[in-house]
Amino acid sequence: MITFPFLRILASIFFFAALVSFDPQASICQTDTTETPRPNSLKAGSWAMMVQIEGAVRFSGYLGTVSGKYHITNNEAVRIGISFNTYADIENKNDDNTRSYSSLGLSIQYVHYPKSTATVLLFFGGGAFFENRRETDKNEVIGTSEYSNSYLGLSALLGAEWFATK
């Protein structure tokens, strides 16, 4: 069963994709056809490094990924990333519980750029990921429990890039 929140999320994704794929320089009223598109780094053989930090304002943990991206063609790239996440719960005075976890993950993704000459570049793709997570729960009454889990899965991506300079 498809729920209303799911449809809202799906509609938002399609609206965002349409918005970022619109190129204002390609309007019908444009008279100068000699203007070249804005240069960017989407060239076959080019490399890019990406750093993603989530929850940086929290002092209880770190969520982040470092990725490298290699462009196979002007419209296609392969992205490989490693992520490291930690979380340490400050002891809760109401229930005497403390929880902490850490994880290490690897991912590989194929990225496709439908139009490599726009000002804002829409991309989509997908890939696979692997994550190993360790978790510890401490309770003064029950004791300590430790868990270790591994995950293997598929990912999908949709986004936009804007290059400040070439």
Which DSSP string corresponds to 5-72?
HHHHHHHHHHHHHHHHH--GGG-TT---TTPPPPP-S--TT-EEEEEEEESTT-SSEEEEEEEEEEES
Second CATH level (architecture) for the domain 4-26+39-162: Beta Barrel (2.40)
pLDDT at 105: 93
Please tell me the distance from the alpha carbon of residue 158 to that of residue 152, in angstroms, as a whole number.
20
- For the chain, what are the domain ranges? 4-26+39-162
pLDDT at 86: 82
pLDDT at 111: 94
pLDDT at 11: 54
pLDDT at 162: 80
pLDDT per residue, tens digit, the chain (166 aa), is: 445 455 555 556 555 555 544 444 444 444 445 555 666 677 888 888 777 766 554 445 556 788 899 999 989 999 999 998 887 776 666 667 788 888 999 999 999 999 877 778 889 999 999 999 998 888 877 888 889 999 999 999 898 888 776 5
Cα Rg for the chain, rounded, in angstroms?
22
pLDDT at 15: 55
pLDDT at 116: 73
Predicted model pTM: 0.62
